[in-house]
Each structure stands twice: as structure tokens, then as C-alpha cells.
Chain A
Amino acid sequence: MKTIALIGNPNCGKTTLFNRLTGLNQTVGNWPGVTVERKSGSLRLMDETLEVIDLPGLYSLSEGGGADEAVARGYLHTFDGLIVNLLDARQLERQLFLTLQLLELGHPILVALGMTDLARAEGMQIDTAALGRALGVPVVELVATSEAGVASLKTALLAPWPGKPATLHYEEPVASALQTLREVLPTATDDQRMAALEGLAMDGAMASQVASVRQRLASQYGDDADIAIADARYTAIGQLMQHVRRSAERSRTSRRLDTVVLHRLWGLPIFLMVMYGLFAWATHVGGAFVDAVDGVADALLVQAPVRALAALGLPDWLGFGLGNGLGEGIKTVATFVPTIGMLYLALGVLEDCGYMARAAFVVDRLMRALGLPGRAFVPMIIGFGCNVPAIMATRTLEGRHARVMAGMMLPFVSCGARLPVYALFATVFFPGDAGGVVMSLYLAGIAVALATGLLLRHSVLRGDATPAVLELPDWHWPSLHSVFKQAWSRLKGFVQGAGSLIVPMVLILAFLGAVDMQGRLRPDAPDDSLLANGARLLTPAFAPIGIQRDNWPAVVGLVTGVLAKEAVAGTLASSYARLAGKAAADETPPALAGQIRDALATIPAKFAELGARLLDPLGLKVAESDVSDQLGAAEGADTALKQRFGSVTAAYAYLLFVLLYTPCVAALAALRREFGWRWMLASAGWTFGMAYTVAASYHHFARAAVPVPWLAISATLSGLVVFGLLQRERNPRQVESC
């Protein structure tokens, strides 16, 4: 199959063009060995199918250090298709730099000139034909956001493809230095020779000869060799730009919008409002569909197979495995789809219109204290809704160090699924002070996340080769077409990538929770299951955090929490109710049709609540009313809970543990997908260790202390973090003074 590789600067409209060309025939994966997103798709042209590879957005091929650049370079050197270089016509001068490097590669290349309509509107006049003649390659004008524009590219792709481009001529002294290197390095390509002249790492026998050529170039030019080369390239670009008449200034609307959005006073409040809007959109609007998806999936994937197989007289374990194992696993994946889908849509709009880069500009100073780029704020905010999409959103960060660090911090950001546990305990142990308790937990989570970030920054993830230079593109209306397609292909990537781990883990845990010590399948007696017995066995290990031997249901709750954090509160309520001797009213599940109808009815109900939810950002009131429903159904649970925990201190220590410990399988699957097994296991171990340490020290020190002792711990933790931040802040000053 013939292949075309799409390459261009960041923000040049490449993603939109890729989406236009390939439609929904896309696959999103990773390049081998790195977490750089590898997107490929197929394009039908008459009776031929082409493969389209979307390379990472780059300013140059010789940046060095970044994974994106290594991927593009490595790929292009072995590539034998057509390179399609997309340029934003409005920034032609700067973007031709990459074009020249691509020409040095010597591969057939086609230049696609995008945004020409906008460039004309800004007063630019481009003689495309003359530009093409000067470059020695075909140049096609296109408006990436319209179908008509893409048609001209398709026509060009149908014509016979161009051959190898002519060799470029640079001005002296670069030209003669390059000529000398052609003799010294006869097998290399011009782009490798130029990279060697720029001083990029060289090995082999010729290294010293290359170094002397480079020195001669530097002395002839009168400045460093890499400046000589950049100068020669920009001089060549200057000649190319004779075919362009321009009065290109940033469009006036864009400038005016920036004076508001990036304002010294309004900048931060606007940022916070947008982030809150994003958070509310994903968790409340997206979340409004979760119960419906959950109910429908439960009816069709869990209940239906169990009943059908029972009716056919097949063995129980088969129905259980198919429904409660496999079906439940798929259901778990499905319940993440509405939130993640909505989030990807909103993120796509913010990226596409140009706000995301500006948000990064506004908060860069805050995030850099941790060594993170400004845009790392986005996943952190999303994490309060659900850690899974937040981990997926670390993809938008540049540089692997930043991605990994954000990924390791995120599990400590208290997601919405942990809230019901807090609400349950608050109702029983801290009546009247629920808000304070919950707030302290959120703060403790943030403090531990920051501490983790600082620790990583000063140990394994020290330094990062990726420069922080960030482009602020012009504002423009997002292309909804492109936003939808991108969200769709990313969502597909999540379902396939994370689903392959979530489903088997849910299946295994389901059996452990339903098989008793004699190996019989007894889903109706969860207290005798392997899981519960295992938890009982483990209970003594939790004595330091205040879980007494007879309080084993607390440990069962923790084990189920690894499956899904939202399961903890329900498990606790029903097992404490059984301890109290009063089983929760055993309700027969309604008929399938009724269940589906009820599930769908939750959507309008949730939307009706939307107004109230927006005013209750933590969702505490909703969680509290849910909990009192559960407690009402599971009579006596509250008394049992109080008795078994024994003290307020033990209860709070348990909450700290729930806040901090091992993320749920879905989050683990997302971590594995983004960062690999090693980091997933590191996160699982680190979160558990932190949870145990923090909860145990709290329990140890707080027993003797004053009431509301949780204030002490969050104060200590925040103090530590502030100290850490101050330490970080001293560093740049030192650099400045020398």
C-alpha cells in the first residue's frame, strides 16, 4: 500500500487535515517504545487506498531530546512514500524552516499550504506557483477546514507523485561546508550532514573531521555554526518569501481577545472559570448519562445472560462468569464512556480554538514550581471528577517526564467515586461537620500529590530535555467536525486499550467475591467468599491504621475499592448491615424492560438536577442523600459501623487510607496504557505505601491529640509542601544572579 506521511509545525491544522482525509478510518496507538501518539488512517482515492501517517507536530527535525522529534526523524529516514508537509500560510516564513529540512532529507515531498483563506483575509498574497518553482516541489493550496480545500490535495495525490527534490543551495559559508561534508560523509543524507554541522551528537570515524569543518564554518561566519546554519536557512526562506506579499500581523480580533483572556488581573479568574466549566461539563453533563449506561448495561450484559443461561439449564458458574464477570467488566468500561467522551469533546474544542495554550501561559508559573508545564493543570482539574480521563489527558503534555509525573500525582487527587465513602462516614461519625471533613480530605490528597511530584522531580524524573517554549496560536472557531472525529478515535483508543485490562480484572475479582472456601459458587453469601476470607486474614495487617480484628468488613471494602471506588460505600453499608443481623431488604431485580426504562429515566432526572449540582461543586449534598438512602435500606449499618471502628480517629484514618490507596483497575489500566507496566506497578505500590504511612501516622499521633485532629495533619502536609515550593523557587533566582 502506498503511504503518505503528514508533517508540520504544532498548531498548523495538521490534525484537522488528517481527520478530513481519513474520516473515521483511524487507529490511535503508540509508536514502539514511546508514549508518543501514533495515528494512522486510510484514505480512499478512486480505486486505491492510501495509508496516512500523522507525525507529531514539530518546529524542526533537529531539536534533539524530545521523543516526538526522535519518532519523526526515525520514521522519515526509513520512509519510502510521499511526505505531505502542511504549512500555515499565515506563518509561512517560520514554518518553511521545517520544509527546508525535509527537502534536505531528499524524499519526494508535496507542500500543502493551509489557511490560505485566512491569510488572504489578513492581506497576504501568495504566488503559489512561483513558490512551488522556487522550492522545486509541488505546492497545493488548501483550506484544511473545508471539504473543497481537501479536494485539491486529493487531486494532487491522484496525479503522478513528484520525484526526489532538487538539492538545496544555501549561501556561503554554509554551502561550502556542506559540500565538504558531502565528500567526508558520502553515504549520509544532507539533513544528517546539516545536523552534524549544527553540532548534534556524531559518532564514528569521521567525528573529528566533521568537528574541524564545523569550526571552520564558525570562524568564517563569525558566530557559532548552528547560528550560521539557521541564518542560511532563514536567508533561503527570505528569498522564497519574495513570492509572498504580506502585511501579516496577528489579526485584530485575536489581539483584542488576548488583552482580556491574558489580562494581568482577569487572566487567572477566567482560567478558573473555564476549568470549572470543563470539570462541570465532564462530571455533570457527561455524568448525567452514567447511571443510564450503567442500568442499561446491567440489564443487557449482566442480568440478561444470567437469566438466559439459567433458563437454558446451563451450569450456574457459566452464567455467573458471562454476566457478573464478563458483562460486569464491559459495563465498567461502558460507564466511563460518557464522562470521557464529553471530556474529550470539550478538550478538543479548547485545544482547537486556541484557549489551551493560553491557559498554559496563565498558570505556567504555578505549575513550574513542580517542574510541570502549564498545561498540566488540565488533567489535575479533571482528576477531581475521575482519575481515568485525567490520566488519559496527560497526553496533551509535552515531554515524557512531565507526563509521567502528572500520571503519578493524579491518583491522589480525590475523584468523585471516593465521595460516597466520605459522605457515609461523615453522616455516622461527624454529623454536622461533613463539609469540613470532606474538604480536609481533598486538601490532604492535593498535599500528597504535590509531595509526590516534588519527590519525583528531585529523584527519578530530574531534569527534562524538552524546552518549554510554547506557541500561542491565533484564536479561531473550532472545527466541530475535526473535534468530533478526534474525540471519537481517542475514545476508541481508551475502550480498546484500558478495556483489555479492566475486563479480565473484573472477571477475576467477581469470582473471588462469589466463590466460597469450599469452591462452591455462592454469590448470595459474600461474607463467606474467598475475597472476604482473604480480607479477614489481612485484617491484622491494618491494625496500625486503626482497623481492629473484628472490623474485617472495612478491609473487604478496601479490596472491592480496587475494583471501583464507587463500590466501597455500597459494600460497607451492606456488610455492616449483615453484621447487625439485618440483611438489606432482598429485592428481586425488576424485569429487563422495566430496568432499561428506569435507567433511561435517570437522564432527564439528572439534567433537572444540573442547576443544583453546579452550585454544589463537590457533589456532597447529592452523595449525602444517596448515603442516607443506603443506610435506610441497610438498617442498623450505622450502629455496626460505629461499634466496629470504635473511635472517630480510626474512622478518619480509614478515610485517609481510602483517599490515598491504590487506584481502581480502570485507573491502573489507564496508567499502564500511558506509561507502561513499570510505572503502573510503581503507582500501585507508591499509593498503597503512602496511604498506609499517612493513615498509620495519623492514627498513632492523633489518638492522644485534641479533637478535630485532622486539622493538624493537613496543616503539616501543606506546610511541607509550601516549604518544598519555596525551595524550588530559590533555584531560578540563583541562575539569574550568575
Chain B
Amino acid sequence: MSKSYSLLDLNSGERATVSGLALAASPLRRRLLAIGFLPGTHVEVLRRAPLGDPIEVAVRGTTFALRREEAAALHVIRFAS
């Protein structure tokens, strides 16, 4: 319906819902699924590291650091502000 965003496009403090994973079968994809980055999951970008990369993301009560490519592979739908 609207433009597709990745986790990378979110500002610090912004919340969104995961809509898909743009990743082929790989250990990274399996790990992201295992820690709960599924379509429909709510995520929040907490902050970026001092050098701009990685970014800190909260999902299911835990926070993870994701590097740029990893964050770029997670497609999200932004919450209407």
C-alpha cells in the first residue's frame, strides 16, 4: 500500500512491525527467525552506535545489535505517528 521500508530507515525511538525478511536461506536468516524477527512482530529502534552502525533494536523483550546489512534485510511497516 505504501512505500516499503527497512529497519534501517527508522529513526531512533521509532516503532514498527516486521513485514518480511529479504534474505536467502542462511545462518543469519535462521538466527533472526529464532530470536523472533517474524512478520507481524513489533520492533523498536533504540539507537545507533556512535559510529552510525550497528543499530540497537528491541524485540520480544530483548535488545539486539544489528549491522546495516542485517537491518536492511528486515522489511517493516512504520507505525502511523
Q: A residues near B, CB below 8 A?
A: 59-60, 62-66, 90-91, 93-94, 97-98, 198-199, 223, 226-227, 230-231, 234, 248-250, 258, 262-265, 267-268, 357, 360-366, 368, 465-472, 732, 735-736
Contact = CB atoms under 8 A, between A and B. Distances in A.
Interface of B: 20-21, 25-36, 38-39, 46-54, 56, 58-70, 72
Contact of B36 (A93, A250, A364): A93
Contacts of B67: 364, 368, 468
Nearest to A248: B61
B62 A94 contact: yes
Contacts of A60: 30-31, 34
B60 A91 contact: yes
A64 B49 CA distance: 28
A272 to B, nearest CB: 11
Contacts of B56: 262, 361, 472
A265 B50 contact: yes
A470 B28 CA distance: 12
Contact of B33 (A66, A227, A468, A470): A227
A371 to B, nearest CB: 12
Given A262-B47, A365-B49, A466-B27, A63 B34 contact: yes
B4 to A, nearest CB: 15
25 contacts: A59-B31, A59-B34, A60-B31, A63-B31, A90-B61, A94-B62, A226-B30, A230-B36, A231-B39, A234-B38, A249-B61, A250-B58, A267-B49, A268-B50, A360-B65, A363-B51, A364-B65, A365-B52, A366-B51, A368-B53, A467-B32, A469-B70, A470-B64, A472-B63, A472-B64
B54 A365 contact: yes
Contacts of A470: 54, 64-65
Contacts of A469: 28, 31-32, 35, 64-66, 70
Contacts of B36: 93-94, 97, 230, 234
B63 A250 contact: yes
Contact of A227 (B38, B53, B63, B72): B38
B27 A465 contact: yes
Given A65-B26, A94-B35, 16 more contacts: A60-B34, A62-B34, A63-B31, A90-B61, A94-B60, A97-B35, A98-B34, A231-B39, A250-B61, A267-B49, A362-B49, A364-B65, A465-B27, A469-B35, A469-B64, A470-B65
B65 A226 contact: no
B51 A91 contact: no
A268 B66 CA distance: 18
Closest 6 CB pairs of A and B: A60-B34, A65-B27, A365-B51, A267-B50, A230-B33, A467-B28
Contact of A199 (B25, B32, B66): B25
Nearest to A464: B27
A467 B67 CA distance: 10
Contacts of A465: 27
A361 B65 contact: yes
Contacts of B38: 227, 230-231, 234
A465 B63 CA distance: 22
B63 A226 contact: no
A735 B69 contact: yes
Contacts of B72: 736
Nearest to A225: B25
B27 to A, nearest CB: 4
Contacts of B46: 258
A463 to B, nearest CB: 11
Most buried by A among B34, B70, B72: B34
A732 to B, nearest CB: 6
A364 B54 contact: yes
Nearest to A66: B27
Contacts of A227: 21, 33, 38-39
A62 B27 CA distance: 8
B30 A62 contact: yes
A432 B54 CA distance: 44
A33 B5 CA distance: 43
A368 B20 CA distance: 26
A65 B56 CA distance: 24
A361 B48 CA distance: 9
B65 A91 contact: no
B15 to A, nearest CB: 13
A265 B51 CA distance: 9
A364 B38 CA distance: 25
A64 B65 contact: no
Nearest to B36: A94
Contacts of B58: 250
